[in-house]
Amino acid sequence: MTTFSDLGLIEPLLRALTAEGYAVPTPIQTQAIPKLLEGRDMLGIAQTGTGKTAAFALPLLQRLDANRVKAQPRQPRALILTPTRELALQIAEGFKSYGRHLGFKHTVVFGGVGQGQQVAAMNAGVDILVATPGRLLDLMEQRHINLSKIEFLVLDEADRMLDMGFIRDVKRIVATVPAQRQTLLFSATMPSDVMSLASGILRDYVRIEVTPPATTVERIEQRVMFVTREDKKKLLSAILTDKAVSRVLVFTRTKHVANRVAEQLIKSGVNADAIHGNKSQNARQRTLAAFKSGKVRVLVATDIAARGIDVDGITHVINYEMPADPDSYVHRIGRTARAGSSGAAISFCDAEEVGDLRAIERTTRQQITVDTSHGFHAAHVATRSERQGGRPQGQRPQGQRAHGKPSSGKPQGQRGPRRDGGRDGRDNRDGRGEKPWDNRSAA
């Protein structure tokens, strides 16, 4: 079995990994680290949950260490661009823990908060900068940040950045980075716009592909419950009577519904909270911390707010409302079954959402097991789903299991989702709801 030291990592990094409790490298780490240590550019097709942060952070730290220079004010040596503040914070956390024995200065910049502290951190000298594109450009224009000393450029979740409309910002940022650099681009999916961005900025790159949509998704027990819109509340409460449903992420499409669901849960005595874009950054961080520590049992979130939430041990993801597209479904359910554990994903599907369900099943090429337990099963919705999708008679899996323990068995009919993550699923939407990546309306 490959170990981290086989990959050529230096001792201070190995010590940090031991402290983190990482015993063996994940597949993406095994593939990426040696090539990145050689200085190669990389196109990584991988999503969050694969260990990709360490896959790029470790070699980057080691290469920075091989050629140490004093941290300069406003002029970082490494830039990691990422779509959301949650991801930015998480990546910075990674650098902090992996680099704890190396003493580099890193900082994070993102929008939605005052810029004072970020500017002060830049002025104090910085080696590694993790940033979201909008705020970064803003600070560059104000001359608080200068990218002329960048040696390492990482574009993380490139598909998300493009989905969120950051393409022009990203291009403007990249244009100011020296051509002589090591460049990495990671993306969960590889549609043509991401590919053309990649070929424009990478040189003689190594392409690595891990298939966590498949491997992650395979460890997740997926079920759909056909239910009327009115019964969703009661169904959620019924599921939560099971103590084994202990750390739960509930997804809604809008912040309005997120708030309502959280309020109802609190009223019924469940420790719950909501996280979405209307809340201040501090409030979101507090909520997330309470969820991580277990004080909050149920976190209700919109897609954008939950992007990249990295909390280990989420036992259940519940789609209170179906996601608007298959990509979001894969992202949502990927919040459970992190780092090798298993988990369960339960989708509440009402009559209007049958089209969304079918799009998900088509794209991921898997049939989601139907669960009729708890007595809220809406037969007419199920029938409608059969009509729309043509579930073959007699093949419909009947999941009657209790919710407690995610079984280790794979749901029936499951194959890995398509690598392109189902962009075409968006064309199949029934037009309800907003794009989950549209910050203005959905988060």
Which is closer to ligand AMP, CB of 55 or CB of 357? Answer: 55
For 365: left if phi > 0, alpha if psi spans -120 to 50, otherwise beta; the answer is left
Q: What is the distance between the terminal CA atoms of the chain, rounded to a whole angstrom?
A: 43
Ranges of H-type helices in 21-166: 27-37, 52-66, 85-98, 116-123, 133-141, 158-163
Among 306, 248, 245, CA closest to 275: 306
Residue 187 within binding range of ligand AMP, rule CB under 6 A: no
Angle between helices 133-141 and 167-175 (to 10 degrees): 50
Which is closer to ligand AMP, CB of 232 or CB of 316? Answer: 316
- What minimum distance in Å lies between the beta carbon of 170 and ligand AMP? 20
d(CA 325, CA 316): 20
Which is closer to ligand AMP, CB of 90 or CB of 367? Answer: 90
CA angle 397, 399, 400 (to 5 degrees): 140
d(CA 225, CA 177): 50
Binding mask of the shown chain, residues 33 to 62, with x at each position contacting ligand AMP by CB under 6 A: ---------------xxxxxxx--------
Which is closer to ligand AMP, CB of 186 or CB of 226? Answer: 186
Residue 25 within binding range of ligand AMP, rule CB under 6 A: yes
Which is closer to ligand AMP, CB of 208 or CB of 225? Answer: 208
- What minimum distance in Å lies between the beta carbon of 212 and ligand AMP? 8
Q: How many whole angstroms from its chain centre is CA 222?
A: 18
Which is closer to ligand AMP, CB of 29 or CB of 319? Answer: 29
Among 7, 9, 13, 26, binds ligand AMP (CB under 6 A): 26
Among 10, 12, 14, 22, binds ligand AMP (CB under 6 A): 22
- What minimum distance in Å lies between the beta carbon of 361 and ligand AMP? 26
Among 322, 249, 229, CA closest to 239: 249
Report, in this order, helix, strand and coil percent for the chain, each rounded to 5.
45, 15, 40
Range 239-298, binding ligand AMP (CB under 6 A): none
- What minimum distance in Å lies between the beta carbon of 41 and ligand AMP? 20
Which is closer to ligand AMP, CB of 399 or CB of 421? Answer: 421
CB 173 within 8 A of CB 201: no
Find the helix or strand (DSSP H, E) in which 281 lies.
helix 281-293
Among 15, 59, 24, CA closest to 40: 59
- What minimum distance in Å lies between the beta carbon of 220 and ligand AMP? 15
Binding mask of the shown chain, residues 384 to 423, with x at each position contacting ligand AMP by CB under 6 A: ----------------------------------------
Range 318-337, binding ligand AMP (CB under 6 A): none
By CB under 6 A, name the binding residues for ligand AMP: 22, 25-26, 29, 48-54, 310, 312, 338-339
